[in-house]
Amino acid sequence: MHQVISSLSERDRLVVRLLDRHRVLTTHQVAEAAFPSIRRTETRMGQLHAMRVVDRFRPFRATGSAPYHWVLDHMGACIAAWERGVDVGQLGWRREHAVNVAASGTLPHLLGVNGFFTALMRAARQRPGCELGGWLSAAEAEAEFHRRYGQGYRPDGSGEWAEAGVWLPFWLEYVVPSARKAQPLRDRLAAYERAARHESAPRLVLIAFEDRARESEARRGLETWLPAATAVILPHPTQSPADPLWLPLRPGADRRRRLIELSAPQVWRRQAAVDEDRLDCGSAAGGRRERHWGSAGDDAPWESTNNVAADDPQDRGDDPWR
């Protein structure tokens, strides 16, 4: 194993950590997270596959062929356990469990959530002053939710987006037609409201859809005093969830905003004084880590994901979608 570890770059080890925490990524998502081009992703992932660091599968499609989907293989699980300081048994990895995700009905939802965050990772790597400070899986977000509020709820994920020193923590709800949660969106928002009712600056809730009609239908029946916004998120070679896709979930919302714009208190002000009192964050303190909307502080389990060392200086000049 040590010979394999010594042959891995920091980029390779990032891929191992992502697959350990988030189970499965497509080739496109691996490229967004860590590589400068699809071609280099395919080449390196093929090499890691030969070393049994990663395994792969293609889900069945009635027409055409699906891209490779990547999971940890035995050597990758050993490396993940070694990095955590535990043995593979404690990691909970089993090969059959890793590949069973291929036939799981939750695969489209899991890929949608993971693609949301890998698109932000790509944006952070390509845009100066931007950073994805953390990405928690559903299980990790559930633990963070309980730590923060002392209540049980399982968000689809959690993260913290930064631009120009302003940090915006958020919870994510990701809606796909084939993998609905048992709870309607109204009930899910109620869970956040119960948890955050004593906070003066509740954390932003992002609700992502995969089609405009479903977003429009959902918005007609949703009301909340929380800072919450909806968007339609689709794979795109240049667009990401950081872009002006977000429509605040409040009366009179008239335009879609960039993700970081949702950190501004004036976005959420309403005529009702009671709502304004609950949501007004006040003036933000200056400094490099200016935080908004219920940041968990420096003790939160954020892990920076966009400081990936380039394996090849020529990588910077590659077309990322070639």
Per-residue pLDDT band at 322 (split at 50, 70, 90)? very low
Q: Report the distance separating Cα 244 and Cα 274, nearest Å.
A: 29
Q: Is the pLDDT at 33 greater than 60, yes or no?
A: yes
Tell me the torsion sign for CA atoms 226, 227, 232, 233: negative
Lowest mean pLDDT among 238-242, 245-249, 313-317: 313-317
β-strand 166-174 against 157-163: which pairing, if any?
A: antiparallel
Q: Do 51 and 132 belong to one domain?
A: no
**Stretch 208-234: mean pLDDT:** 94
User: Are 23 and 129 found together in one domain?
Assistant: no
65 and 134 share one domain: no
Mean pLDDT in residue range 5-32: 95
Q: What is the pLDDT of residue 308?
A: 55
Rounded CA separation 184/250 (Å): 19
80 and 123 within one domain: no
Say yes or no: 179 and 260 in one domain.
yes
Please give the structure tokens belonging to residue 217. 């239908």
CB 206 within 8 A of CB 173: yes
At 208 the pLDDT is 97
Would you place residue 288 in the very low, low, confident or very high pLDDT band (cuts 50, 70, 90)?
Answer: very low
Q: Is the pLDDT of residue 314 over 70?
A: no
Our CA dihedral for 250, 256, 260, 265, rounded to 10 degrees, sits at: -30
Whether 135 and 257 share a structural domain: yes
Question: What average pLDDT score do residues 12-30 get?
Answer: 97
Same domain, 8 and 65: yes
Residue 314 lies in a domain: no
Residue 314 backbone dihedrals phi, psi, to 5 degrees: -70, -15
Rounded-to-integer distance, Cα 272 and Cα 278, Å: 10
Is 98 within the bounds of a domain?
yes
Size (the chain), residues: 322
**Do 7 and 291 meet the contact criterion of CB atoms below 8 Å apart?**
no
Q: Where are the alpha helices (DSSP H) in the chain?
A: 2-7, 10-22, 27-34, 38-50, 74-84, 88-91, 95-100, 107-126, 138-149, 185-196, 212-220, 273-279
Query: Residue 51 burial (CB < 10 Å; 0-12/13-18/19+)?
Result: middle
Question: What pTM value is reported for the model?
Answer: 0.84
Domain assignment of residue 133, yes or no: yes
pLDDT of residue 43: 98
Cα 305-80-153 angle, rounded to 5 deg: 65
Which of 258, 260, 238 is CA-nearest to residue 246? Answer: 258
Give the pLDDT score at 171: 98
- Same domain for 189 and 42: no
The residue that leads in pLDDT, 143 or 295, is 143
Identify whether 305 is part of a domain. no
Residue 306 has pLDDT above 60, yes or no: no
Domain-located, residue 89: yes
Quick one: average pLDDT of 36-47? 97
The answer, yes or no, to whether residue 272 has pLDDT greater than 50, is: no
Q: Domain range spanning residue 175?
A: 109-291
What's the pLDDT band for 316 if we cut at 50, 70, 90?
very low
- Residue 217 lies inside a defined structural domain of this protein: yes
Report pLDDT for 313.
42
d(CA 233, CA 231): 6
pLDDT tens for residues 52-78?
Answer: 999 999 988 878 788 999 999 999 999
Average pLDDT over the chain reads 84
Going by C-alpha positions, the residue among 283, 304, 305, 279 that lies closest to residue 294 is 279
Determine, yes or no, domain membership for 118. Answer: yes
Total domains in the chain come to 2
Domain boundary residue, one of 83, 104, 125: 104
Residues 129 and 158 in one domain: yes
Picking from 87, 104, 121, the residue at the C-terminal end of a domain is: 104
Q: CA 100 to CA 41: how far, in whole Å? A: 23
As a whole number of angstroms, the distance between CA 111 and CA 28 comes to 11
Taking only the tens place, the pLDDT of each residue in 76-118 is 999 999 998 888 877 777 777 777 888 888 999 999 999 999 9
CATH code of the domain covering residue 63: 1.10.10.10
Quick one: pLDDT at residue 284? 38
Domain final residue pick, 53, 88, 104: 104
Do the domain assignments include residue 285? yes
